[in-house]
Structure 1
Amino acid sequence: MFRYFTALYLVLGLSNHLSAQTQDRPNVLFICVDDLRTELGAYGKHYVKSPHIDALAKTGALFTNHYVQVPTCGASRHAILTGMRPSKPIHLSNNSIVEEISGQPEKETPETFIHRFKQDGYHTVGIGKISHSADGLVYGYEAQPSEQRELPHSWSELLFNPGKWKTGWNSFFAYANGENRQSLKKQVKPYEAGETDDQGYPDGLTADLAISKLKELKKKGQPFFMGVGFFKPHLPFNAPKKYWDLYDENKIPLSPNPDIPENVNLKSLHGSGEFNQYALGEEKAGLDTQVSDAYARKLRHGYLASISYIDAQIGKLYQELKALELDKNTIIVIWGDHGWHLGDQRVWGKHTLFENALKSTLIINSPLPQHKAKKVRAIVESVDIYPTLLDMCGIDQIKPTDGESFEKHIKYNIPDTEEVAYSYFRNGISMRTKDYRLTKYFRKDQPVIELYDHHKGNAIENKNIADKKPNTVKELMPLLNKGDTGLYNASE
């Protein structure tokens, strides 16, 4: 039986002058992929088998410099849903949506941009992990699902099929035998090559559910906003074996920057605690030692297999969209909620203010000719997606946001004079410009200023050069201070 749940989602709309065959306004399909950094063929990582996503990127707009506000799942989703940068400590937490949105009465001011779509006549459907909860309901990892939605007013329908795992959170940490990380008391490996088909893991069930719902929406004839949230490649790196078999593990490249950067305090990094929860992993990760090259390749193999698995599910969704002829009037968005260190800077996980954790996938495939086949190199932030979606769909924005619409970048690919992305975590603010990443930490431990050179696309971030370029730091600091929301002075 399908369990109907809350979830949160993002999707993109089209402008009013779109010529549609079945309806005047565009549909939006927002696909959220957990922990997906720019590890795709479309981003030049040709060893990754991601043909379906790559095809959507090739015929759409591929954003090469998209950055999230917070490098953790719930807080990143809170920022994109509200269009607001974090301004108090709870906004850095996975509980930010529960604390700030859940349980609130409906108001004229929308709780999320999805709510705004619903207010404007869209039928909104959420499937899978859109907000922080795996199924959109408020409950703990090891508890039974409640009836409380994380987003109480955003969804017309909330759907989820937990299959043999029975709950959303069990599904999120699922193994092919029907067990999960919680039921096995973390006595599990951080990866699995399951002898099963696509439906042997929850993301296959999510794709099937979304396909069946598309058929219903086609008949309904009302413009829709569908959010589909896939779990992988989030830990554990579990995918059907056929996706593991796409790769020769010995040929998978290792991290180009596996060492701790020069001139940084270790408090800027972390000891891969989330990864080390998987107690049966062959090796533990930490800042004091690197995992072996062989184990690093095994883990990277699992991450890539998980991406290929999700790529196949997205391919199924798109094929159904085409079969129903909904592709002619549907904008597809693929968004990664943050990046992930695959052994980079000796870290396995997110939760840092480095490029690896902050840069993520953003692809927008629109039916409009002026949106086709473009690499958008402008620096954009997740908070920009809220006003952009409304802008592209011709929906009035009735709530101010920190983000700004970037539809002009898709249409004309003209950069702003001041392109910048702000991110927040670990008592720090990080700012990405075209040529630099500048980070300021609010702590006693030195150094508190880090500067990384990104000229000519160099994304290694292996040496803090703040002490070598004090004039550059001085020149950039006023711009960084513009992104200071008072977060580290705020009280709950």
Structure 2
Amino acid sequence: MRFPAHLLLFALIFYFSCKEETTTPPNILFIAVDDLRPELACYGKSYVHSPNFDQLAAESSLFENHFVTVPTCGASRYNLITGRLPKSPGDLSNQASVTNIANKPEDERPVTFMQALRQNGYYTVGIGKISHHPDGYVYGYLDPKSDKIELPGSWDEMHFNNGKWGTGHHAFFGYADGSNRNEMDKAVKPYEAAEVDDKGYPDGLTADLAIQKLKSLKQQQKPFFLGVGFFKPHLPFTAPKKYWDLYDEVDIPLAPFAAIPENSAKASLHNSGELNQYRLGEEKPNLEQAASDAYARKLRHGYLAAVSYIDAQVGKLLDELEAQGLADNTIVVVWGDHGWHLGDQKTWGKHTVFDNALKSVLMIKRPGKEGQRIKQVVSTTDIYPTVMELTNVPSQSTLDGESMVSLMDNPSAKEWRNTAYSYFSRGVSLRTPQYRLTKYFRDQPPAVELYDHLNDPHESKNVAKDLPKVVQQLMPIWEKGNTGIFEE
């Protein structure tokens, strides 16, 4: 007997309407890692011990050419959470979120993507450093913790375990004995390997908090956004000794290009002040005097130990996500807030518009999707619209980036923009698959620098004068990212 057509149609409508109603929005576990350049085995650095990052990368869309918009912590995070390119010099400050969000009336604040999620049914939790201040509250390095929230409206809950350090700022610059750089007036070394377990440093406590929170979030009736911010490998390079012991210092490679680029200027770099403020450092490398090979290896050893320490904390979180049965409906994002020169271009630190300071880790795992490597150029500015599309949440803000979901669905998509813009040191920089073009608004020449990554992946020579036609071809694209930030 044939089934009546009108009943069949009714049954199909009923089925799909019920299916739509029972679809559960995805959770998001967003992991922000301070100063994490692509120094992981999954990015081709085989000497790095990063098994948890590497496993996650194999299951994720791994972006091989992700560039941040500003190479300093607070401004990069402000760009991440607002999806806006810098429009004024204050947008390049570590206090960008304080100035533009915490100190503004509600109707004048940009809507962060966490706030947008919260307004659309998500339960949002922040643990550790998501914006600039380590625990999400606004106060000075030597001040007691305040009750002023850096991102009002973004969080249902905020947590941080100060441990033996007392405040978030002291924990951020903390050593294993409970001391910190702030109260020691910087009379400390820029590294430490202590015989402690993972919770002997703050990031172990952060991982523990996040694990406990995952257990309670499982009971929530809402989808959740859990942001977890780890401190390392930010200076000081401190980590339990067992992570230092993963490396033989004599085998750690040095920077492939440790000199000022040809035809460039010292004004495009800096004298590594962030590192050299640690007054007990054995050397003070700068643009006049490079670090010795032995000291360079010591510092790189500390950075790698800190990376491996965070890798272990991330592994714990991912294991707990599986143990709680949440992995099948949770998007996992790992993002480095910028890169870091490890002696590259004779520089230690971020704060330049070279690739070493701008290129950072980005991987996004979508449940049910296979891992893939994406070579096209993307920007931190693109993360906000991507989160909105992945969660099917409408954006209430005017955003400067583009959703990367179509690129994740088709990594070879020819229609993708394939550019990223960055701003610092009075320079506006454009990155394309082959070139980095930077125009500086300063008195010191050269005003324009061009690096050919196809032939010079380490940015050792400015070829702007050698390739004037390339500069001419790229300048209209560069102009699209020139927000007038340095023009008077």
Fold in common (TM above 0.5)? yes
Distance, in Å, in 2 between the alignment partners of 1:97 and 1:53 is 29
**Pairing of 1:179-194 with structure 2 (within 5 A):** 179-194=179-194
Classify the secondary structure of the residue corresponding to 1:48: coil
The answer on whether the counterparts of 1:23 and 1:222 sit within 8 Å (CA) in structure 2 is no
Provide, for residues 183-232 of structure 1, a one-character-per-residue CA deviation record: whole Å limited to 9, x for no partner: 11111000000110000000000000000000000012320000000000
TM-score norm. by structure 1 comes to: 0.93
Which amino acid is the alignment partner of residue 282 of structure 1?
E
- Displacement, 1:409? 1.0
Cα gap change, 1:417/1:332 in structure 2, threshold over 3 Å: closer, same or farther?
Answer: closer
Is the CA contact (8 Å cut-off) linking 2:339 and 2:356 kept in structure 1? Answer: yes
Aligned residue number for residue 310 of structure 2: 310
Report what 1:427 is aligned to.
426
1:484 corresponds to 2:482: yes
Taking only the aligned residue pairs, the percentage that are identical comes to 57
- Tell me, in whole angstroms, the C-alpha distance in 2 between the residues paired with 1:331 and 1:38: 21
Report if aligned partners of 2:69, 2:76 keep a CA contact under 8 Å in 1.
yes
Give the RMSD, CA atoms, in angstroms.
1.7
Q: Separation in 1 of the partners of 2:438 and 2:294? A: 33
> Shift of the alpha carbon at 1:338?
0.2
Corresponding residue of 2:281: 281
Deviations 1:427-480 (A, max 9, x none): 010100011000000112111100000116x42000000111111111111110
Instruction: Tell me which residue corresponds to 2:439.
Output: 440
Q: CA separation in 1, counterparts of 2:454 and 2:99?
A: 40
SS of corresponding position for 1:367 = coil
Question: Which structure would you say has the larger Rg?
Answer: 2
Runs (4 or more) in structure 1 with deviation over 6 Å come to none
Deviation at 1:267, TM superposition (A): 0.5
Could you tell me which residue of structure 2 aligns to residue 398 of structure 1? 396
Which position in structure 2 is the counterpart of 1:332? 332
Correspondence for 1:266: 266
CA distance in 2, matches of 1:152, 1:160: 16
Give matches, 1:457-468, under 5 Å: 458-468=456-466
**C-alpha contact (below 8 Å) 2:100/2:109 kept by paired residues:** no
Q: How far apart in 2 are the matches of 1:166 and 1:78?
A: 26
Residue type matched to 1:447 in 2?
P
> Whole-Å Cα distance in 1 between the matches of residues 255 and 142 of structure 2?
34
Separation (CA, whole Å) in 2 of partners of 1:87 and 1:229: 26
State the secondary structure of the residue aligned to 1:309: helix
State which drifts further: 106-115 or 345-354: 106-115
Matches within 5 A, 1:132-171: 132-171=132-171
TM-score where L is the length of structure 2: 0.94
Amino acid corresponding to residue 111 of structure 1 in structure 2: V
| Superposed CA offset, 1:11-67 (max 9, x none) | xxxxxx9x99x9711000000000000000100101000000100000111000100
Count matched residues. Answer: 471
Contact 1:239/1:306 (<8 A) preserved: yes
Cα drift, residue 145 of structure 1: 1.0
Offset of residue 282 of structure 1:
0.6
Partners of 2:79 and 2:381 within 8 A in 1: yes
Query: For residues 35 and 219 of structure 1, what CA distance do their matches in structure 2 show?
Result: 34
* Partner SS state of residue 486, structure 2: helix
Equivalent residue, structure 1, for 2:451: 452
Q: Deviations over 1:64-86 (max 9, x none)?
A: 01000000000001111110010
Structure 1 spans left out of the alignment, 5+ residues: 1-16
Summarize the alignment of residues 158-307 of structure 1 with structure 2, pairs less than 5 Å apart. 158-307=158-307
Partner Cα separation in structure 2 for residue 391 and residue 150 of structure 1: 26
Counterpart Cα distance in 1 of 2:285 and 2:246: 26
Shift of 1:111: 2.3
Q: Aligned-pair distance for 1:348?
A: 0.4
For residues 111 and 59 of structure 2, what CA distance do their matches in structure 1 show? Answer: 33
Q: Deviations over 1:78-132 (max 9, x none)?
A: 1111100101010010011100000334349752011000000100000000000
CA drift of 1:416 comes to: 3.1
Distance 1:138 1:242 in 2: 34
Instruction: State the distance in 2 between where 1:386 and 1:198 align.
Output: 32
Give the drift of 1:347: 0.3
**Alpha-carbon separation, structure 1, partners of 2:199 and 2:187:** 24
Shift of 1:337: 0.2
CA–CA distance in structure 2, aligned partners of residues 204 and 484 of structure 1: 41
Cα contact 1:274–1:349 (8 A) shared by 2: yes
- Taking a change above 3 Å as real, the CA distance of residues 64 and 33 of structure 1, as seen in their structure-2 partners, is same
Q: Secondary structure at the match of 2:106?
A: coil
Amino acid at match of 2:469: N
- Alpha-carbon distance change, 247 to 415 in structure 1, aligned in 2, over 3 angstroms: farther
1:100-119 aligned at under 5 Å gives the runs 100-107=100-107, 111-119=111-119
1:464 and 1:348 map into 2 onto residues whose CA distance is: 20
